[in-house]
């Protein structure tokens, strides 16, 4: 399989990061979102991240110019996918929304195109079932921040073909990533292990065992984690953490995946972490949020 034209659906944190790495690796990329404002913000984020790479002498000004030149934007999904060899969906972690997007992707993308999702927990098999090409549907779970993190979980659904899996693995390597093939079960590998740990850290806080900074300090200094689980939850998004835990709890029917009541209440209160300005930590000043992101640059 030959990949030249890549479409990324969703210009948020994950979507613009995915578009960034494909364009930097030489692929023509269409970044699609319903809102022009989201696209403008996504391209601005890519530009800032490229500038950081220049400052650290990882790329040149020419590399930046060429990378940005490979990215075009589009608000019309039908036009965005019309020439795609691969479409990567990176919309919000909501099954109903993703299924609707995949129905439209399937209807308008070329017959040969692989349809991938960046979902971190939702069933690839379920997503594939709404298309007429389930053998060409696969998971490409990039890690945040995408330009920095090396791992890509490549998740094959029940009907995903060997050829599509192998092509996706090879493509991920071409991006400079380390792909790891996993099977389609709730949470896959990364979140099946990570989210219960984050949830337990929230339970530890909820039960009054220790405070936020104390819990994070124990995990950073005692377990050599680069970031404590509560700070990491803020960075991921508490709403995203809740959504993933709910998918896992629904999928396994095991109480160990039940979200902590504190997490539920924080999300209800609109405290999502870095993106909302407040979570377990205070990010009300934009500089604080940028400082957290810079730790991964």
144 marked among binding-site residues: yes
Distance CA 183, CA 205 (A): 33
Find the catalytic residue in 153, 172, 199, 276.
Answer: 153
Look up 153 and say whether it is catalytic: yes
15 marked among binding-site residues: yes
Distance CA 282, CA 21 (A): 30
104 marked among binding-site residues: no
275 marked among binding-site residues: yes
Find the catalytic residue in 141, 243, 276, 278.
Answer: 141
Look up 191 and say whether it is catalytic: yes
Distance CA 80, CA 109 (A): 9
Within 10 angstroms of residue 165's Cβ, the number of other Cβ atoms is 18
Find the catalytic residue in 120, 121, 172, 199.
Answer: 120
Distance CA 183, CA 139 (A): 10
96 marked among binding-site residues: no
273 marked among binding-site residues: no
Tokens of 69: 């030149």
120 marked among binding-site residues: yes
Distance CA 146, CA 220 (A): 22
277 marked among binding-site residues: no
11 marked among binding-site residues: yes
Find the catalytic residue in 16, 118, 172, 191.
Answer: 191
What are the beta bridge partners of residue 191?
none
Distance CA 83, CA 87 (A): 10
98 marked among binding-site residues: yes
Q: Helix, strand, coil shares of the chain as percentages rounded to 5? A: 55, 15, 35
Tokens of 223: 């377990």
Annotated binding-site positions for NAD(+): 10-15, 33, 93, 98, 120, 144, 275
Annotated binding-site positions: 10-15, 33, 93, 98, 120, 144, 275
Residue positions annotated with a catalytic role: 120, 141, 153, 191
């Amino acid at each position: 399989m030959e990949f030249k034209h890549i479409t990324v659906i969703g210009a948020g944190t994950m979507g613009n990061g995915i578009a960034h790495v494909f364009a930097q690796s030489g692929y023509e990329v269409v970044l699609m979102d319903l809102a022009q404002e989201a696209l403008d913000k996504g391209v601005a984020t890519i530009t800032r991240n490229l500038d950081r790479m220049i400052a650290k002498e990882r790329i040149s000004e020419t590399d930046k110019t060429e990378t940005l030149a490979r990215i075009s934007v589009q608000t019309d999904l039908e036009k965005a996918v019309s020439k795609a060899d691969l479409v990567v969906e990176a919309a919000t972690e909501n099954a109903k929304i993703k299924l609707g997007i995949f129905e439209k992707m399937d209807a308008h993308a070329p017959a040969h195109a692989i349809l991938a999702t960046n979902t971190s927990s939702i069933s690839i098999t379920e997503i594939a079932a709404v298309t007429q090409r389930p053998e060409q549907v696969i998971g490409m779970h990039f890690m945040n921040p995408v330009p920095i993190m090396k791992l890509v979980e490549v998740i094959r659904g029940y009907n995903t073909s060997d050829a599509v899996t192998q092509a996706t693995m090879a493509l991920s390597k071409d991006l400079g990533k380390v792909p790891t093939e996993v099977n389609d079960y709730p949470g896959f590998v990364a979140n099946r292990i990570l989210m219960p740990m984050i949830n337990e850290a929230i339970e530890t806080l909820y039960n009054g065992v220790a405070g936020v900074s104390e819990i994070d300090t124990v995990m950073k200094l005692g377990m050599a984690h680069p970031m404590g689980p509560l700070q990491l939850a803020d960075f991921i998004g508490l709403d995203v953490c809740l959504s993933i835990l709910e998918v896992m709890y629904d999928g396994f029917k095991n109480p160990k995946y039940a979200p902590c009541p504190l997490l539920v209440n924080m999300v209800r209160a609109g405290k999502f972490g870095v993106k909302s300005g407040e979570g377990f930590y205070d990010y009300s000043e934009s500089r604080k949020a940028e400082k957290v992101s810079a730790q991964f640059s």
